[in-house]
Amino acid sequence: MTIEPSPKLDFSRFPRRVLLEGPTPIQHLPRLSAGLRGVNVFVKRDDLNGLGGGGNKLRKLEFLIGEALAGGADTIITVGARQSNHARLTAAAAARVGLKCELVLTRAVPRFDADYVDNGNILLDGLFDAHVHDLPGSANALQFAEDRAVELRTQGRNVYVCPLGGSSPVGCLGYADCAVEIIAQSKAMGVSFDRIVVPNGSGGMQGGLVAGLVSSGLEPSLVAGFAVYGPAGQARSITLDKANQTAQLIDPNLRVDSSAISIDESQLGQGYGIPTDAMRAAVRLLASTEGLLIDPVYGGKAFAGLLESVRSGNYRAGHNILFVMTGGLPGLFAYRSEF
Ligand SMILES: Cc1ncc(COP(=O)(O)O)c(C=O)c1O
């Protein structure tokens, strides 16, 4: 499919605190592509941004922190699993702008070895001086966060609560903006992408990209998500909601149709954060052919899905696939025993 130039979307009416240093590069992977029968794989390097070890959540955090500061917040609280990249980047962004940060992290992933419990993202959370609440896997983290916010407010603090994955409609604007960035880069490179492949966790990245494409009058089913958090049906309805809410923040007249949300659950394996053989092979292949690192929970499973789709003949020679590298490198250290 050809990506046409988009009408300029104006995000300037949304409060924003700049955390990125301009567009992230798109790179062609010639050695990897050579092994894929002429299908060209490109990567969008959203892992390459300068704050807190980098990763996709910084795009959302530009708008979330912007909203928090506009409301006079002095504290931000967010939720996630113990090795949450979103939590780590929220802590880093909070440090950068001078907000106090509390992280409500659950033991939702059944891993209890020292690497998972104490290394990787959680190590960095401590360096960013976040206050970590350690909850069992069954806990309702968002409820805990809301209750904690009430408690802090009674002490005079102004608290901003950020949902799972930073995927509120305001947060998803970061990926609507990224869609516009990809369109401009595609045009400048003279390359039209037949697919944009992403991991789908809380659905905000895919929902935001879809909203950005719809707002630009482009075909949103260009985005293919691989579910890593839950089954496809659940991921599809969450992502459709996020895409609609985000598109309507941009323009209240916009509607996203369910056919715009393409989600594949074939790489989920036994569930969120549980490794699969295909993930391990995909992480190794990208590292050993291109020197690039993806994480075991999100990028590794999505890239495994991309490889599987190519191998099963869903793409022809000359097709161009853009894989969004979302960061999460600290997760490799938390999953050391898998490699
Ligand atoms: C490294 C990484 N990639 C992808 C995602 C998925 O993004 P989303 O939650 O917006 O679907 C996440 C979410 O935490 C992540 O940490």
pLDDT tens-digit series, residues 258-317: 999 999 999 999 999 999 999 999 999 999 999 999 999 999 999 999 999 999 999 999
Is residue 154 classed exposed, middle or buried when 0-12, 13-18 and 19+ CB atoms within 10 A define those classes? exposed
Q: Does residue 115 contact residue 337 with C-beta atoms inside 8 Å?
A: yes
| pLDDT one-digit tens code per residue, 232-244 | 999 999 999 999 9
Protein residues with CB under 6 Å of any ligand 1 atom:
55-56, 85-86, 165, 167, 199-205, 295, 298-299, 326-328
Share of the chain above pLDDT 70, in %: 98
Ligand 1 centroid to Cα of residue 56, in Å, is 7
Same CATH fold assignment for domains 26-55+168-338 and 57-166:
yes
User: What gap in Å lies between CA 190 and CA 210, rounded to an integer?
Assistant: 22
The answer to whether the beta carbons of residues 42 and 26 sit under 8 Å apart is yes
Q: Name the residue of 47, 88, 175, 205 to mutate for ligand 1: max ligand atoms within 8 A of Cβ.
A: 205
Question: Which residues on neighbouring strands pair with residue 160, listed in sequence order?
Answer: 76
Rounded to two decimals, what is the model's pTM?
A: 0.97
Residue owning the nearest CA to atom 6 of ligand 1? 201
Q: List 197's β-bridge partners, or say none.
A: 224, 323
- The domain spans of the chain are 26-55+168-338, 57-166
Question: What fold, for 57-166?
Answer: Rossmann fold (3.40.50)
- Active-site residue, 168 included: no
Overall fold of domain 26-55+168-338: Rossmann fold (3.40.50)
